[in-house]
Amino acid sequence: MSIISQLSKSLPKNIIISGEENTRPFECDGLSVYKQKPLAVVLPNEISQIKKVLEICRKNKTPVVTRGAGTGLSGGAMPIKDSVVLGLSKLTKVISINPQEQTAIVEPGVRNIAISEAADEYGLYYAPDPSSQIACTIGGNVAENAGGVHCLKYGLTVQNIESIKIMTIDGDELVFSRNDDGLGLLALMTGSEGLLGIITEITVKLTKKPELAKLVMAGFDSVRDCADSVAGIIRHGIIPAGLEMMDEFAIQASEEFAKPGYPLGSKALLLCELDGSEESVIPDVDTVVSLLSKASSIRVSKSEEERLLLWKGRKAAFPAVGRISPDYYCMDGTIPKRHLADVLEKINALSKHYSLRVANVFHAGDGNLHPLILYDAGVPGELEKTEEFGNEILKLCIEVGGSITGEHGVGVEKLDAMCFQYSDAELDVFHQIKAAFDPQSLLNPGKAVPSLHRCAELGNMHVHHGNLPHPELERF
Amino acid sequence: MQTIGELQKKVRNASQLRITNSVDESSDELLNMKSYSGVVEYFPEELVITVKAGTLIRDISQTLRKKNQALPFFIEDDEKTIGSLYATAGSDLSDSVLGIQIINGKGDLLNFGGQVMKNVAGYDVSRLLVGSMGRLAVITQISFKVFPEKMAQERRVKIEKKNDHSPLRKQIEKKLKDVFDPYGVFV
């Protein structure tokens, strides 16, 4: 009996999708350059059905790819050949909200923004805000350890969850909590990209909504001046709620698209949001303004409308770039902030070398770069050239002591780049951790951690915390 | 002062080893980390400090205080080493961990995480090992996210840990010990 018949026999028919055409919407996630159709997609509307799906897949040794809303950007939820996609987007119950404890218990398919909407009446919200927050699910956020623009002050997903329920590939349930005595299994599971277990319930922390938020916008004549100002603000003891930078090209594209009133001609733009009580925000704004002596223009939001308008340009940066190029590739690396100006200079040099334009938007507070490489998939070889350029950027990130991914995950996209960041012995630890939870390797196999064989074929360009083999060689 | 190479050699040559931070003596069965100490790197504008595991918490706090920054987790006794706190702490400390350098039971030197705030490449081993009681690996170096002093104060809440005795959890923890310490060196 085929796996589809087995699934149909034990589960309601209306939750199973199969066939070439019907499974097409699930053939990729937000990284649409990689596509693969699964055998079937199951969309449980009750948690208990997950156990049944796992049982059948286990019996048939069929890989299971867990999926939230499919908004991921690294191919983590892209189906594997002959796999079953376990889509949890219909499990959308907010089970309970506890305003005293400032927690909410939710099913994995609840959208990120829906948690904040449900908590709004208590003056609370869920702090991590990935840019896909209107669509992405909390289960996917936990699986990817999603970030956003407010991480510097409020943390990533891992700091904003209290506990999770998981189901192992064997169908056993476990609870991992912040209060556990023993190993940090809650943290291990967060960001494990669907390779260790299925997240079936999440207790999130809720944060009190700030009394006041103000945005300071500043234009600069040089990237270095802007980067120095970022360091100056933090050195002064101010932790902004959001601290974003854009380069000249990104400023221009966003201004043309969203018309927020950005200073055209500036080489760099800084958006610095301060939030909290009125007594703290007002003096902090004055301090920040005084620290921006190198800025060529400064504007402070005078109303909530103005604050949102200034943010709109930043939030629209991706579609704005998308408008001026047939395709764009969004990279995601992190670096220690002190190397920012140098890294941007090198990215611009690489841009000339590859003849591909690049716009840079940057979570400046936490060192998370998002270079957007503009290309045309219709031109033969251009995607490959773009990927090569992207890998060079990631190598740069590691050379200065950063990471190949800050918040998008490894998925299938960054398997090669993982070989630059980790040694064989370190990668082997990852493989063994996977085996400890999933010895038959049925949960999202082949994602997140490259095989040692793959790295060997790449020539083992392992860059160890800035110590590159043969540092005397020019790399571009 | 021991070097990393000496620590690795000691792990490789030992059949059983207890990691200690509290006493000054050392023997074939005892790995004293207290002399492996010092601030490796500190960048106030990055909010990141990297320290060797044997560094006294008091010394780390002193370094940070000069720049009006502090460790943002619960500290009961600052005469202890940061390594011993890492070994016994919970999620309050792990929230601030960015990366670790360890020696596994085979004597290999491994790095997980890093010195940046956002890093989702690979499983989060640097937070997994918080609270591992020195039974999985020798933690040699830790990088922390720090905060301005006032914000750090607000975050210093003690976590009441609860023991989950489920057999399945124990089984997983046992398997994870075998990943890092396949010969059962660390006792």
- State the pLDDT at residue A472: 44
Taking the CA of residue A65 and the nearest CA in chain B, the distance in Å comes to 18
Contact residues on chain A for B114, CB-CB shorter than 8 A: 401-403, 465
CB contact under 8 A, A235 and B44: yes
Please, which residues 235-294 of chain A have a Cβ atom closer than 8 Å to chain B? 235, 237-239
> Would you say the pTM of this structure is higher than 0.80?
yes
Across chain B, what does the average pLDDT equal? 94
Q: What is the pLDDT of residue A36?
A: 97
Q: Is the pLDDT of residue A92 over 70?
A: yes
Question: Looking at the predicted structure, is the pLDDT value of residue B61 above 50?
Answer: yes
Q: Is B154 on the interface with A (CB under 8 A)?
A: no
Note the pLDDT of residue B147: 97
> Is the CB of residue B107 less than 8 Å away from at least one CB of chain A?
no
For the segment B108-152, what is each residue's pLDDT rounded down to a tens digit? Answer: 999 999 999 999 999 999 999 999 999 999 999 999 999 999 999
| Sequence spans of domains, chain B | 4-180
Q: Which CATH architecture has domain A3-87?
A: 2-Layer Sandwich (3.30)
Judging contacts by C-beta atoms under 8 Å, the chain B residues touching residue A156 are 118
* pLDDT on residue B31: 92
Share of chain A above pLDDT 70, in %: 96
Percentage, residues of chain B above pLDDT 70: 97
What's the ipTM?
0.97
* From the candidate CATH numbers 3.30.360.10, 3.50.50.60, 3.30.420.10, 3.30.465.10, the one assigned to the domain spanning B4-180: 3.30.465.10
pLDDT band, residue B158 (cuts 50/70/90): confident
| pLDDT mean over A321-340 | 93
CA distance B82 to B103: 16
Give the best residue of B68, B118, B163 to mutate against chain A (max A CB count within 10 A).
B118
- Residue A78 C-alpha, separation from nearest chain B C-alpha, in angstroms: 18
Q: Does B80 touch chain A (CB under 8 A)?
A: no
Whole-number Å distance between alpha carbons of B102 and B122: 16
**B147 DSSP β-pair partners:** B70
Residue A473 pLDDT > 70: no
Reply yes or no on whether the pLDDT at A408 is more than 80.
yes
pLDDT of B23 over the 70 cut: no
For the ranges A136-145, A235-244, A315-324, A417-426, which has the lowest average pLDDT? Answer: A315-324
Position A469 pLDDT exceeds 60: no
Work out the average pLDDT over B94-104: 98
Q: Are A174 and B148 inside 8 Å of each other by CB?
A: no
Does residue A59 carry a pLDDT above 60? yes
- Please give the pLDDT value at position B64: 98
Q: Which residue has the higher pLDDT, A316 or A264?
A: A264
Cβ separation B130–A187 shorter than 8 A:
yes
Residue B20 has pLDDT above 70, yes or no: yes
Q: Which of A241-245, A318-322, A369-373, B126-130 has the lowest mean pLDDT?
A: A318-322
Q: Does B176 touch chain A (CB under 8 A)?
A: yes
- A26-54 tens-digit pLDDT: 999 999 999 999 999 999 999 999 999 99
Which string of DSSP letters, residue by residue, matches A165-232?
A: EEE-TTS-EEEEETTBSSS-HHHHHTT-TTSS-EEEEEEEE-EEPPSEEEEEEEEESSHHHHHHHHHH
Residues A441 and A450: their CA atoms lie apart, in Å, by: 14
The β-bridge partners of A174 are A166
DSSP state of A244: E
Contact in structure between A221 and A174 (CB atoms under 8 Å):
no
Distance from CA of B5 to the nearest CA of A (A): 17
Interface of A with B in 136-155 (CB under 8 A): 144-145, 147, 151-152, 155
Inter-chain CB proximity A406 and B116 less than 8 Å: yes
Domain ranges of chain A: 3-87, 94-208, 212-319, 328-335+350-356+375-458
Q: Distance between CA atoms of B131 and A184, rounded to whole angstroms?
A: 7
Residue A475 predicted with pLDDT over 70? no
Does residue A249 surpass a pLDDT of 80? yes
Chain B residue numbers with beta carbons less than 8 Å from the beta carbon of A239 are 47, 147-148, 151
**Domain A94-208 has what CATH class?**
alpha beta
CATH number of A212-319: 3.30.70.2190
Cβ pair B169:A185 closer than 8 A: yes
pLDDT for position B55: 97
Q: Is B153 on the interface with A (CB under 8 A)?
A: no
CB contact under 8 A, A429 and B172: no
Specify the DSSP class assigned to residue A286.
Answer: H
Q: Please give the average per-residue pLDDT across A210-231, as a whole number.
A: 96
Q: What is the distance between the alpha carbons of residues A125 and B186, in angstroms, rounded to a whole number?
A: 44
Above 70 in pLDDT, residue A461? no
Quick one: pLDDT band at residue A476, thresholds 50, 70, 90? very low
- Distance in Å, alpha carbon of B4 to nearest chain A alpha carbon: 16
pLDDT digits (tens, 9 = 90+) for A11-23: 999 999 999 999 9
Q: Is B68 near chain A, with CB under 8 Å?
A: yes
Local confidence band at B1 (pLDDT 50, 70, 90 cut-offs) = low
pLDDT digits (tens, 9 = 90+) for A179-206: 999 999 999 999 999 999 999 999 999 9
d(CA A191, CA A61): 24
> For residue B5, what pLDDT is reported?
96
CB pairs under 8 A between A and B: 199
Q: Which of A151, A167, A426, A444 to mutate to test the interface with B (most CBs of B within 10 A)?
A: A426
Chain A touched by B124 (CB under 8 Å): yes
Interface of A with B in 359-388 (CB under 8 A): 363, 366-368
From A56-60, A332-336, A467-471, B3-7, the region with the lowest mean pLDDT: A467-471
